[in-house]
Each structure stands twice: as structure tokens, then as C-alpha cells.
């Protein structure tokens, strides 16, 4: 999910994680989200959609969550009861949601709309995100020393994460080589990330002193 914002001169900005989100089927995922608006805009409700990536607003038939329980705009049947807000008070400008019991069909593009009142009239703005790759943590590598690479797949809501480690002894031959971390989830979904190794070489110098008598 990439980060975009409405023109700052309008006073509207919506913040999301810069990466795509990846989670395993059967678990859950949190979409962290917050926004700011112009002073004259009072937010009332948030609406999340799932639809094909588009520069325009999704249709109401693509709604997966609506904070207004009294609206006749209902969520898609496949998402009913699976999506909820982390912060129920819209005035806190927290639009984060959690999607439970993830399905392979949940993969795709999601869109957010915040509705409210601006200068006494109903108004709203729409943000169009994309629905991450694993992250690879590489410590400082020094030739001849042992090092551990860590690959982490984000997206688990329990606080736990899928983590894989690789421990090896660094060598000069590994300098500029590429390591790839590939994650395979339930449903044969895979994602991967690659990174280059930079190995520092240590040089030892011997100093020979000749004493002449």
C-alpha cells in the first residue's frame, strides 16, 4: 500500500504505510491509517472499499466497511463481520482497520473515503491506495566474522511475525552478491525481496624492524 496525499494547500493529508501489506490467509491484517483535514472540514464517517485499481472513486457495491451503521450502503457479503476499526471515534482522525480471517480473495487494491461536513455542506475526500514484501535486515559484514541475516514477513496482528534467519561466516567472495528472501503463504501466494551484501575486508600489516648494531 503506497502513501499518497491530497494537495497540501487544501489542508487534506492521509498517511499510510509506504509498503504493500502482506499477511497469511486465515490470520488478520491491520491497515494503519491516519488523516488530517482542513479546519473547515469535520469528519463524520470513514468508508473502505475493495475494487480494481482506479483513479476514480469505487462504486458503493465495493464497500467492505462503513462506519455509519444506519446507512443503507452495506458491505460486500464476503467482508461482513470481518472488518472493524481500531479507533471508533472518527474525530481522532484514525482510519485504521483490521481485517480478520483473511482469504486469498482479499488480495488486491483498497480505497478509503472520509466523509463529513465542510462549510455546512456534506463533503468528503477519497484516497486510493494499493494493497508487502518481506524485509531483510543485514548487519555490518566483516570478512571472516560470523553474521546473521534476518528476513521478516509483516502483517500478523497477534504481535508475532514470521521470521527466518541465516547465519554464515562472511567472506570477500560474498561481496556484492545478492540474497533473496522468499515467503510462501497459505494458498500458494508468494512474495520476495532481494538485497546485496557488502562485506568489509580486514587487512593486517606486519611490521618488521631490523636492528643494526
Q: How far is CA 162 from CA 17, 23, 29, in A?
A: 19, 10, 13
What is the CATH classification number for the domain harbouring 196?
A: 2.60.40.10
Angle, CA 27 vertex, CA 49 and CA 73 arms, to 5°: 25
Residue ranges, the chain, pLDDT below 50: 1-9, 18, 130-131, 156-159, 187
Position 9 scores a pLDDT of: 39
pLDDT tens-place string over residues 15-45: 765 456 777 888 888 888 888 888 888 999 9
SS3 track for 159-172: CCCEEEEEEEECCH
Average pLDDT value for the chain: 79
What's the pLDDT score for residue 24? 81
122 with 17, same domain: the answer is yes
Q: How far apart are CA 3 and CA 14, in angstroms?
A: 8
Show which of 127, 147, 177 is a domain's final residue: 127
β-partners of residue 135 are 152
Same domain, 28 and 122: yes
What is the pTM for the complete model shown? 0.55
The pLDDT score that the predictor gives to residue 2 is: 32
Amino acid at each position: 500500500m503506497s502513501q499518497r496525499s491530497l494537495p497540501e494547500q487544501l489542508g487534506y493529508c492521509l498517511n499510510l504505510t509506504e509498503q504493500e501489506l502482506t499477511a497469511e490467509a486465515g490470520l488478520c491484517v491491520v491497515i494503519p491509517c491516519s488523516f488530517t483535514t482542513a479546519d473547515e472540514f469535520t469528519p463524520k464517517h470513514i468508508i473502505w472499499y475493495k475494487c480494481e485499481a482506479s483513479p476514480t472513486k469505487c462504486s458503493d457495491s465495493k464497500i467492505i466497511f462503513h462506519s455509519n451503521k444506519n446507512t443503507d450502503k452495506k458491505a460486500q457479503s464476503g467482508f461482513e463481520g470481518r472488518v472493524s476499526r481500531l479507533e471508533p471515534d472518527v474525530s481522532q482522525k484514525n482510519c485504521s482497520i483490521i481485517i480478520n480471517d483473511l482469504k486469498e480473495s482479499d488480495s488486491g487494491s483498497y480505497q478509503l473515503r472520509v466523509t463529513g461536513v465542510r462549510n455546512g455542506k456534506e463533503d468528503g475526500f477519497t484516497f486510493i491506495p494499493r494493497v508487502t514484501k518481506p524485509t531483510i535486515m543485514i548487519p555490518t559484514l566483516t570478512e571472516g566474522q560470523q553474521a546473521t541475516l534476518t528476513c521478516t514477513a509483516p502483517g500478523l496482528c497477534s504481535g508475532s511475525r514470521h521470521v527466518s534467519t541465516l547465519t554464515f561466516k562472511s567472506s570477500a567472495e560474498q561481496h556484492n552478491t545478492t540474497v533473496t528472501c522468499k515467503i510462501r503463504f497459505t494458498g500458494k501466494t508468494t512474495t520476495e525481496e532481494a538485497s546485496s551484501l557488502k562485506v568489509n575486508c580486514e587487512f593486517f600489516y606486519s611490521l618488521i624492524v631490523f636492528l643494526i648494531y
